[in-house]
Amino acid sequence: MSRPRPSAAKPRNAARGGRLSGEPAEIMQRINVSIDFDRRLYAQDIAGSLAHCAMLVARRIITPEDGEAIARGLEKIRAEIEAGRFPFRVEHEDIHLNIEARLGELIGPAAGRLHTARSRNDQVATDLRLWVRDAIDHLDRHMTLLQAALIDQAETHAATVMPGFTHLQTAQPVTFGHHLLAYVEMLGRDRGRLRDCRKRLNECPLGAGALAGTSFPIDRDKTAKALAFDQPMANSLDAVSDRDFALEFLAACAISGMHLSRFAEEIVLWLSPPFGFIRLSDSYTTGSSMMPQKRNPDAAELVRAKTGRFLGAFASLVTVMKGLPLAYSKDMQEDKVPVFEAADTLELCLAATAGMVRDIAVDKAAMRRAAAAGHSTATDLADWLTRNLALPFRDAHRIVGTLVKRAEEMGTSLADLPLKEMQTIEPRITAAAREVLTVEKSVASRASLGGTAPTLVAAAAKAARARFLEEKKENKKR
């Protein structure tokens, strides 16, 4: 007795095959489907299918006629998805089965030949690697734009003096340009981590099958090359069950998000009236529903807050993976949401931060006043004592500490402490010592490699532009 054919109104899920004859429970369907989020893999899934199809034809596993029909159908599906006309159906669970079902509707039985020598296990592993690779390239462009914004401001403010802090206490004067270039370096390392991740993930799982390879005479080198992978993955079990690349991507996103959060915190501080170092326009601030005078740095605060999303994404996936035996388990369907969310969130934070950097207007006078406060040039006086009086630095440090204490008792700054008062503590101090106590002299003297001297900052900005931005242009040419 033949079985009735599935109705057109409710297409049968190809993954249930002939083994399962009943329909899944409604709650089973709800927990099992992933099409709501993995539809984002459509471009990568189609690219992988086209490469697999071309290989099957080249190896005479399917006919050229079927191969042409499959390729034509896949291109039509791509166009439908990009035009918003594709009929995504939850009955087909995921992006792979949705595309396969639609292909069958378009070209008939030949569609079933596409899955020869392939499993959804190696298919999704390939798709996700391709997606993360694309995401890395996209995020790298956004990081480059942020670096460019920071370098532009650093060149403008190579000599703009501001206080440098340790423990959020005034430490020594630095320049605003020098401060911004610190974040350029952090972003450079963030880009390096993503490049390293990209290099390691760039091996092709396609052809690993469900877990053990295939009996068909496939050419894995051909599909790897067609998809711009460096080589096929060496072990079929590892190929379908590895998600190290996704974890590494999430870790790199988390570190970059942390860097953005630190900078966002500084924007919040600098914009507050007690600091008053910078201004942001209406484009990157909001008002208060009650207090009409307020200008709130909400963009910076939200960038600062979103670090939790990156950390949560990594914790989520590493928890999924930590107890899984080889090879594939359905648990791994949960790899995509944290990866998508981290990539989306990092792109948003990078764009918002770049916008704020370009929007910043600096109050140089406020920065200089703050840089001169808190006895910030005390170390310069200690250095002067060491150089000119041949004192051990620890002795000079103790003397200047005593001078700072005396200045505080007199209600003045170290720079304004009378010379006679200084000489009561160290008689050999001369008027020449007072010359090192201006913030301009202080920053100019920090001329060691990587220091804050304005000439060095200008040169460092130029060098950073060559290292991080011109390098990008060269890579594009290659």
Residues forming the active site: 167, 288
Strands 161-166 and 169-175, bridge-based pairing: antiparallel
* Distance between CA atoms of residues 202 and 438, nearest Å: 54
Q: Write out the two tokens for 417.
A: 């402490």
Largest pairwise CA distance in the chain: 113
For the beta carbon of residue 3, count every other beta carbon within 10 angstroms. 7
Question: Cα–Cα–Cα angle for 7, 10, 8, nearest 5°?
Answer: 40
The full DSSP string for 410-470 is: HTS-TTTS-HHHHHHH-TT--GGGGGGGSHHHHHHH--STT---HHHHHHHHHHHIIIIII
- The number of residues in the chain equals 478
Whether 85 contacts 113, CB under 8 Å: no
Cβ-based neighbours of 83, under 8 Å, separated by 6 or more: none
* Distance between CA atoms of residues 345 and 300, nearest Å: 14
If you ran DSSP here, which 8-state letter would residue 296 be given?
B
Q: Which helix (H) or strand (E) holds 175?
A: strand 169-175
* Distance between CA atoms of residues 420 and 418, nearest Å: 5
Q: Taking Cα atoms as reference points, which of 473, 461, 475 lies closest to residue 150?
A: 461
* Distance between CA atoms of residues 78 and 154, nearest Å: 45
**Burial zone of 45 (CB within 10 Å; 0-12 exposed, 13-18 middle, 19+ buried):** buried
- The strand pairing partners of 278, in sequence order, are 362
- The residue behind tokens 């009996």 is 215
- The residue behind tokens 């807050």 is 305
Question: For 377, how many CA atoms within 13 A lie in the half-sphere containing its CB?
Answer: 29
* Distance between CA atoms of residues 377 and 443, nearest Å: 9
* Distance between CA atoms of residues 71 and 57, nearest Å: 11
Q: Write out the two tokens for 115.
A: 């899955």
Q: Which helix (H) or strand (E) holds 171?
A: strand 169-175
